[in-house]
Structure 1
Amino acid sequence: MGYIKGEDRNQTFLFPESIDDYICEDNPVRIIDEYVDQLDMKELKFQKAICANIGRPSYNPKDLLKLYLYGYLNRIRSSRRLEHEATRNIEVIWLLKKMKPDFKTIADFRKDNKKALKTVFRQFVRLCDGWNLFGKELVAIDGTKIRACNSKRNNFSSKKLERHIQYIDEKIDTYLKELEIGDQMEASERKPNAEEIQQRIEELRNRKEKYEAYQDHLEKTDSNELSTTDPDSRLMCNNNNNVDVSYNVQATVDSKHKLVADFKVTCKPNDLGELDNMALRAQTVFGVQKLEVLADKGYYKAEDLKKCVDKHITPYVPKQTYSNGTGDKDFYTDQFCYDAEKRLYRCPAGKELYYTRNRITKAKGIIGYDYSNYEACQSCQFKERCTKSKKGRSIYRHVDQDFLDTIDLQTETNKEKYKLRQMIIEHVFGTIKRGWGAYYFLTKRKLSVSGEISLSFLAYNLRRAITILGAKEILNRLRETRELALAKAD
């Protein structure tokens, strides 16, 4: 019995096959084609949405958007690889109707339509909302670090610049001494002549001037660091304790079908100060008055939590646990009990810590209170386990601690609901970064990066919608929408 054999490559057909025959009816590429064809590119403010009357004809932005959306759905983000796919991939050949744009045209489309790409993402969110794919009751908010197009070598802080300049000064002094003294090197080594040494000194001085210019820039802009390749990126620590020049991408994911409702790219290395902003944006996107929000302890900030509560948003955020310096968990801050009536703290050893002073800042005034009992600490047998301070242990109480206690109790009593956070939002980041390889950005500057990540989130939402509703159902809904639009136009 023989093997299964293909057809003869030289065989000719009486009636040539259609490319459309190679694309099955439930292929996602048909959804991309139908969805993008219904977009109003002029309303979305895409470049070249209106054909120019003079000059060389340009590609329709709809076709290039289809190409990018297909690429991001299939782990292909590079413009050169997309160019290659247009010549070999039958799905792309079908999608673009045999057009073959070059990589520069493909790359320029993403560069020239940064804001428009974000608008397309929002438009698809509204479309999913119309299909009742959002629950609009419970959302999870989290951030992830995505590596920027800027190496650590091209990122400078004040301390790093000082080290470089000090090293250059020492190196210049060494070369100058060689010129003055005329050190004799070993016979086996070639001795650099005076001209070569002068050239090296000049190179070092030029590099020193460059670093000093970076220092001046940091002082004038009051910045902590400077990235030379991508000025908006910052040095950040990711979950694996690796340090990279990155962006912090904030995302809001709805709990019903794990669809991304909103996102934001920030240059901050931490999540503090983003909870109220993202929650209020989600409230606006959904058009609801009440909303429940899940977030990890990186968002635990009294000001943000109060703003959420004032806007009828219920936050579930676990509190931060602060160590005591010795690493003994029995003497962490959360082991000290507060007595509201007597206005004091009781330590794990049973000692009482009394109010001593207000903690004040110029910008905010009183931000908290300090409690201590140094006399009792001196005679305490657990002092070495409790603190490294010679005076004794001091406890800080936030000015809004009573409010924070209600948030802590609220989160504690809704533990089962809070456990849903990882299942809701971590899958999104895992799919995009690990599954689709988008753990680094190809573009530079914050606006371009926002346009790039919007394509990733748009592709993710499209993939989720296909999984939930099925390709045929989405195609039917899109075609019904097109028919209704044509009927209204007539």
Structure 2
Amino acid sequence: MARYKHIDTSPRFLAVDLQRQLLPGTFEYALNRLLDHELDLSSFDARFCNDETGAAAYPPAMLLKIVLFAYSQGIISSRNIERACREHVTFIALSGDSQPHFTTIAGFVSSLGDDITRIFTQILFICDKQGLIGREMFAIDGVKLPSNASKTRSGTRTDFERQVAKLEAAAKVMLERHREADQCAIEPDLRAKETQRITRLQRDAAEIRSWLTHHPEDRKGSKGAIRKSNRTDNESAKMATSKGVIQGYTGVAAVDAKHQIIVEAQAHGTGSEQELLIPVVKSIQSTQINHSLITDTSLITADAGYHSETNLRQLADMHVDALIADNNMRSRDARFAGQGKYKTNPDPLHDKTGKAKPAVRYQPKDFDYDPDTGTCICPAGKQLYGNGSGCTINGYAAVKFQGAQRDCVPCMQRERCLLTPHKTKTRQVSFFRGKRDGVSYTDKMKARIDSPEGRARYGRRFATVEPVFGNLRHNKQLNRFTLRGQKKVDAQWKLFCLVHNIEKLAHHGYAQ
């Protein structure tokens, strides 16, 4: 029988040269080289006032090394990073066997702020010197991720006031029962449990009252509409995803097509991608490395989530060449004619939507509108007055009418005419008269993107940006943000994007 040498993997003391553990061509070698010799980290010096007195601080370069390397390995927890600095030889080599406490690591990551933006720009400069940025096409896309906040604590001020009223009422009822029961003999354990419940209800109500005091107004969206607040992280947002509703942030990235370098990364507490397009484009324009990132020949591409007439108008005013898809782009493309057969049929055991019900509310066709005289008669026989004859709705000319309160309030057909008759006093109705004179920016974009050249150029978007998100989500195991507040989450998102860019540098032979 063959005999083999015994392989002993038990712990032992070894003489190890830490510098030689960072092998050329690896991510950790490129990371160590960048932070020690290429990047300017002097902005971190303002954090410390220990020139003459006080304890020495951990070097920011060392903390950045272990955080970025941990993120590259899918390690996000500061406690796990601390343990790795004690047990993992690569972490020991990057940290110089210094073993920082997890609170030091967590405090450093949460306080990066604008410093990480400067580092991100410096990495872009090095990528450009290595010839990794082509400036031919930039693909913009985003991913919605949960944050360190509970979606059950979301709502408007009205929701919170209603909730605190219920808590206070429940505590009052329980307290009255508790006083009545004082006259009877009750087991001590039951009395203690009731006291705990009352205390908990009063504490929760006091927390909500305190939050309402410190937030006197509802959170507003980009168009002034009320956006749900969150008592855990008020800068996060409740957003719908393919896996359900989450409380989190949208991480947006702009990726260069040549070597998939992320040239801009931002995180925002909103699920509306439309309002994020222009800020990202402006940030790309303002980024100066060797010269402006966006040139006269650069193309910006984005999917239908970023499409709106307002965005297209602003891009045209900024003289930015862009291809932004609309929701019906694939339905107009003959190559996707048979895509319906690949869609998964809904599970009849879980599909609770039911059949579509016919509209029970009066539609505009039920109103008697005379375009010649400019009059409109409702189904109840009352004349509506015009409150907008030159309106434009989504590029279409429209005429708007509204009922008078003296007619609508006592009307017996309010239930059929108004969606919320207990709230709305009068009915409004609009009639469209066709498109406004001139071609809209949406129509111009449809013509461009439906052309053979437009389809070929836009087709590169998917292969440019989706592998980047696959690397961050799958390889780096980024499935949630662990911090609270838009500024902190934005810094964490930039850290992950930095990992991706440094990997690109390492894979293309940097510092070998």
Q: Above 0.5 in TM-score?
A: yes
Q: 1:30 to 1:166 in 2, by over 3 A?
A: same
Residue 361 of structure 2 corresponds to none
Structure 1 distance, partners of 2:11, 2:41, is 46
Q: 1:272 to 1:27 in 2, by over 3 A?
A: closer
Contact 1:134–1:256 (CA<8 Å) still a contact in 2? yes
* Greater alpha carbon shift after TM alignment, 53-62 vs 287-296: 287-296
Q: 1:97 to 1:398 in 2, by over 3 A?
A: farther
Structure 1 distance, partners of 2:238, 2:170, is 28
Offset of 1:253 from its aligned partner? 0.7
Offset of 1:368 from its aligned partner? 4.2
Structure 2 distance, partners of 1:239, 1:68, is 30
RMSD: 4.2
Contact 1:41–1:62 (CA<8 Å) still a contact in 2? no
Contact 2:238–2:245 (CA<8 Å) still a contact in 1? yes
Contact 1:248–1:268 (CA<8 Å) still a contact in 2? yes
Letter in 2 for 1:416: A
Residue 353 of structure 1 corresponds to none
Residue 382 of structure 1 corresponds to none
Structure 1 distance, partners of 2:242, 2:83, is 35
Residue 461 of structure 2 corresponds to 421
Choose which of 485, 490, 505 in structure 2 pairs with 1:450.
490
Residue 99 of structure 2 corresponds to 100
Choose which of 224, 229, 242 in structure 2 pairs with 1:226.
229
* Greater alpha carbon shift after TM alignment, 172-181 vs 409-418: 172-181
2:8 matches 1:3: no
Structure 2 distance, partners of 1:249, 1:359, is 42
Structure 2 distance, partners of 1:151, 1:248, is 16
Residue 285 of structure 2 corresponds to 283
Q: Deviations over 1:400-438 (max 9, x none)?
A: 863321111111111232232222112222221232122
Q: 1:47 to 1:174 in 2, by over 3 A?
A: same
Structure 1 distance, partners of 2:9, 2:304, is 64
Contact 2:300–2:320 (CA<8 Å) still a contact in 1? yes
2:265 matches 1:263: yes
Q: Deviations over 1:83-133 (max 9, x none)?
A: 111121111222222222121222222233322122111110111011111
1:113 aligns to what SS in structure 2?
coil
Residue 75 of structure 2 corresponds to 76
Structure 2 distance, partners of 1:10, 1:130, is 45
2:510 aligns to what SS in structure 1?
helix
Offset of 1:36 from its aligned partner? 0.4
Offset of 1:25 from its aligned partner? 3.1
Structure 1 distance, partners of 2:232, 2:142, is 23
Letter in 2 for 1:408: K
Structure 2 distance, partners of 1:213, 1:12, is 56
2:275 aligns to what SS in structure 1?
coil
1:475 aligns to what SS in structure 2?
coil
Offset of 1:158 from its aligned partner? 3.9
Q: Deviations over 1:435-461 (max 9, x none)?
A: 212221122211111111111000011
Residue 108 of structure 2 corresponds to 109
Letter in 1 for 2:217: K
Residue 295 of structure 1 corresponds to 302
Residue 140 of structure 2 corresponds to 141
Contact 2:84–2:91 (CA<8 Å) still a contact in 1? yes
Offset of 1:10 from its aligned partner? 10
Residue 345 of structure 2 corresponds to none
Letter in 2 for 1:272: Q
Structure 2 distance, partners of 1:172, 1:360, is 56
Residue 461 of structure 1 corresponds to 501
Contact 2:298–2:321 (CA<8 Å) still a contact in 1? yes
Letter in 2 for 1:250: V
2:482 aligns to what SS in structure 1?
coil
* Greater alpha carbon shift after TM alignment, 135-144 vs 41-50: 41-50
Q: Which runs of 5+ in 2 are unaligned?
A: 221-226, 288-292, 330-354, 359-385, 401-418, 420-427
Structure 2 distance, partners of 1:234, 1:371, is 36
1:439 aligns to what SS in structure 2?
coil
Structure 2 distance, partners of 1:196, 1:12, is 55
Structure 1 distance, partners of 2:45, 2:233, is 25
Q: 1:54 to 1:132 in 2, by over 3 A?
A: same
Letter in 1 for 2:249: Y
Offset of 1:289 from its aligned partner? 3.2
Offset of 1:74 from its aligned partner? 1.4
Structure 1 distance, partners of 2:13, 2:265, is 52
1:140 aligns to what SS in structure 2?
strand
Choose which of 273, 276, 285 in structure 2 pairs with 1:274.
276
2:468 aligns to what SS in structure 1?
helix
Q: 1:203 to 1:463 in 2, by over 3 A?
A: closer
Q: Deviations over 1:207-252 (max 9, x none)?
A: 4454355456555355433222223112111233x11110112211
Letter in 2 for 1:425: V
Q: 1:7 to 1:215 in 2, by over 3 A?
A: closer
Structure 1 distance, partners of 2:38, 2:49, is 14
Q: 1:172 to 1:64 in 2, by over 3 A?
A: closer
TM-score for the superposition, normalised by structure 1: 0.73
Structure 1 distance, partners of 2:190, 2:435, is 64
Q: Which runs of 5+ in 1 are unaligned?
A: 329-355, 373-388, 477-490
Offset of 1:305 from its aligned partner? 0.9
Q: 1:327 to 1:53 in 2, by over 3 A?
A: farther
Offset of 1:393 from its aligned partner? 10
Task: Give matches, 1:27-426, under 5 Å.
Answer: 27-39=26-38, 41-47=40-46, 52-158=51-157, 160-161=159-160, 163-165=162-164, 167-168=166-167, 171=170, 175=174, 178=177, 204-205=201-202, 207-215=204-212, 219-223=216-220, 224-240=227-243, 242-285=244-287, 286-320=293-327, 368-370=396-398, 402-413=440-451, 414-426=454-466
Letter in 2 for 1:66: K
Offset of 1:265 from its aligned partner? 1.7
2:325 aligns to what SS in structure 1?
coil
Letter in 1 for 2:492: E
Letter in 1 for 2:254: T
2:477 matches 1:474: no
Q: 1:22 to 1:129 in 2, by over 3 A?
A: closer
More RCO (CA 8 Å, sep 6+):
2
Letter in 1 for 2:463: M
Offset of 1:67 from its aligned partner? 1.1
1:293 aligns to what SS in structure 2?
strand
Structure 1 distance, partners of 2:139, 2:57, is 42
Q: What is the percentage of aligned positions where both structures have the same residue?
A: 19
Contact 2:155–2:230 (CA<8 Å) still a contact in 1? yes
* Greater alpha carbon shift after TM alignment, 51-60 vs 220-229: 220-229
Contact 1:227–1:233 (CA<8 Å) still a contact in 2? yes
2:440 matches 1:433: no
Contact 2:25–2:506 (CA<8 Å) still a contact in 1? no
Structure 2 distance, partners of 1:219, 1:10, is 59
Q: 1:175 to 1:423 in 2, by over 3 A?
A: same
Structure 1 distance, partners of 2:302, 2:357, is 26
Q: Deviations over 1:357-385 (max 9, x none)?
A: 96778xx999742389xxxxxxxxxxxxx
Q: 1:215 to 1:305 in 2, by over 3 A?
A: same
